[in-house]
């Protein structure tokens, strides 16, 4: 059972990739009390399997509403309220059981509860397994955009069990695969080619497992080098600059995060094509893989200028400078903050409502 160790500057912790649910000897141990945070659906599916595996003085459960639109301060207050009401102390442990929304919020809530207590993450979606649960970025959305309020708080352990994927809707698996494509395009040419040529059913958890491992291993390497995202970690935002605007404009409801990222990668590829960073054939190959994975949703931009202005609200923009992560061929990337507005507008126009009508 492989265990990856993440050695970030602020903490070292294991990512345990194994059959956690069906392993009678696998336990999560808290030094004092434990608070499991989950959403109604995941709690109904898995709480009866997880609770007996927690060894703590007392175990409490907090259920927050599901969905990106509830990743807000109100849910954080709900988690904190539950922790205080049940007198968790500084040796207590929070346990995130759910997707990226849950792990982002539990990382944040545990990071500010009595100035930080520990948390472990049990990601139940593919997206959370390959991306959100590793790396310590936590936070919530607000009216101005995604993940604008938060902090860096590394978990003390992450448990990855492919078993959770068996109950995951296909749409969510596809969404998670977008993040797999993202890291492969930026960091791993051979991995991308393996995905490209695979004839297997990508919705099958056993087929997915090696790609999960590969993605986590890449992310671990990136986080180790650049925990606070001053350099290389920015590559993990490939597609995200566009995706954040798409998600905001659709109120986090129309697309899953991964679906928006897939659209965003297509937009970034278009920009990379214009700048000569990517070749037409390479862009087509990425597009083909996304299509085969069912990640070919469209988002016709209705107001190009409004979309462009929204970039400046993103927390990565600084001094009216936009920074884009663009693929440099397949398996490499570059960060560009010098792209002229007309080039960006050209890409946005390419994906506009008008050009799609034609």
Binding mask 217-256 for a copy of itself (x = CB under 8 A): ----------------------------------------
Cα 91 off chain centre by: 28
Sheet holding 34-38, edge to edge: 3-8, 11-17, 157-160, 118-123, 93-98, 34-38, 59-63
Tokens read off for 13: 């912790």
Q: Which residues contact 341 (CB under 8 A, 6 or more apart)?
A: 308
309 binds a copy of itself (CB under 8 A): no
CB of 235 to a copy of itself, least distance (A): 17
315 binds a copy of itself (CB under 8 A): yes
84 versus 349: smaller Cβ distance to a copy of itself: 84
114 versus 354: smaller Cβ distance to a copy of itself: 114
Residue 340: exposed, middle, or buried by beta-carbon count in 10 A (0-12, 13-18, 19+)?
exposed
Which residue among 13, 60, 119, 152 contacts a copy of itself (CB under 8 A)?
Answer: 152
| Footprint of a copy of itself on 92-121 (CB under 8 A) | 108, 111-116
Nearest to 269 by CA among 257, 285, 253, 254: 285
Please provide residue 211's backbone torsions phi and psi, each rounded to the nearest 5 degrees: -75, -35
Catalytic residue chosen out of the listed positions 33, 162, 219, 247: 219
Which residue among 16, 35, 63, 80 contacts a copy of itself (CB under 8 A)?
Answer: 80
Residue 139: its H or E element: strand 137-142
Span interacting with a copy of itself, options 88-96, 120-128, 290-298, 346-354, rule CB under 8 A: 88-96
**Burial letters 308-333, b for 16+ CB under 10 A, else e:** bebbeebebeeeeebbbbbbbebbeb
Give the single-character DSSP code of 52: G
18 versus 229: smaller Cβ distance to a copy of itself: 229
| 249 to 30, 245, 270, 300: CA distances (angstroms) | 41, 6, 21, 11
Which residue among 306, 312, 353, 354 contacts a copy of itself (CB under 8 A)?
Answer: 312
Binding mask 123-142 for a copy of itself (x = CB under 8 A): --------------x-x--x
91 binds a copy of itself (CB under 8 A): yes
144 binds a copy of itself (CB under 8 A): yes
Catalytic residue chosen out of the listed positions 18, 193, 196, 229: 229
343 binds a copy of itself (CB under 8 A): no
Beta-carbon-side half-sphere exposure of residue 118 (alpha carbons within 13 Å): 17
Catalytic residue chosen out of the listed positions 179, 182, 247, 269: 179
Q: What is the DSSP string of 212-223?
A: HHHHHHHHHHHH
User: Tokens 């070749």 sit at which residue?
Assistant: 279
Which residue among 44, 73, 291, 303 contacts a copy of itself (CB under 8 A)?
Answer: 73
| 5 to 88, 188, 326: CA distances (angstroms) | 28, 20, 29
Q: Are 334 and 187 in contact (CB under 8 A)?
A: no
Which residue among 32, 156, 249, 334 contacts a copy of itself (CB under 8 A)?
Answer: 32
27 versus 144: smaller Cβ distance to a copy of itself: 144
Euclidean distance between CA atoms 285 and 291, whole angstroms = 10
285 versus 316: smaller Cβ distance to a copy of itself: 316
Is the C-alpha dihedral spanning 101, 102, 106, 109 positive or negative?
Answer: positive
Which residue among 51, 54, 61, 148 contacts a copy of itself (CB under 8 A)?
Answer: 148
CB of 115 to a copy of itself, least distance (A): 5
Q: Which residues are catalytic?
A: 115, 137, 179, 219, 229, 233, 237, 240, 244, 257
What residues line the site for a copy of itself (CB under 8 A)? Answer: 32, 57, 73, 77, 80, 84-85, 87, 89-91, 108, 111-116, 137, 139, 142-144, 147-152, 312-313, 315-319
């Amino acid at each position: 059972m492989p265990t990856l160790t993440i050695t970030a500057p602020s903490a070292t912790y294991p990512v345990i990739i194994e059959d956690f649910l069906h392993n009678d000897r696998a336990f999560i141990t808290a030094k004092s009390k434990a608070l499991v945070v989950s959403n109604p659906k995941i709690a109904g599916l898995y709480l009866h399997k997880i609770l007996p595996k927690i060894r703590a003085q007392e175990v409490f459960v907090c259920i927050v509403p599901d969905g990106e639109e509830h990743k807000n301060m109100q849910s954080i207050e709900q988690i904190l309220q539950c922790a205080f009401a049940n007198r968790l102390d500084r040796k207590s442990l929070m346990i995130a059981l759910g997707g990226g929304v849950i792990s982002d919020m539990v990382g944040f809530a545990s990071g500010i509860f009595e100035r930080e207590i520990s948390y472990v993450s049990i990601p139940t979606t593919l997206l959370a397994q390959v991306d959100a649960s590793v790396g310590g970025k936590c936070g919530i959305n607000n009216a101005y955009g995604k993940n604008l309020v938060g902090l860096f708080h590394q978990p003390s352990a992450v448990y990855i069990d492919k078993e959770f994927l068996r109950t995951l809707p296909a749409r969510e698996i596809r969404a998670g695969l977008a993040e797999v494509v993202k890291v492969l395009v930026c960091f791993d040419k051979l991995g991308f080619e393996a995905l490209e040529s695979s004839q297997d059913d990508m919705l099958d958890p056993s087929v997915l497992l090696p790609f999960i491992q590969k993605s986590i291993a890449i992310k671990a390497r990136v986080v180790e080098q650049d925990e606070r995202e001053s350099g290389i970690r920015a590559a993990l935002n490939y597609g995200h600059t566009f995706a954040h605007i798409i998600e905001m404009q659709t109120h986090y409801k129309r697309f899953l995060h991964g679906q928006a990222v897939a659209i965003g990668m297509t937009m970034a590829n278009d920009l990379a094509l214009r700048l000569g960073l990517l070749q037409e054939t390479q862009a087509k190959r990425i597009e083909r893989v996304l299509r085969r994975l069912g990640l070919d949703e469209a988002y016709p931009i209705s107001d190009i200028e409004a979309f462009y202005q929204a970039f400046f609200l993103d927390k990565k923009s600084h001094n009216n400078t936009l920074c884009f992560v663009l693929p440099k061929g397949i398996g490499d990337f570059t960060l560009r903050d010098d792209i002229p507005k007309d080039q960006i507008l050209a890409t946005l126009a390419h994906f506009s409502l008008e050009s799609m009508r034609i």
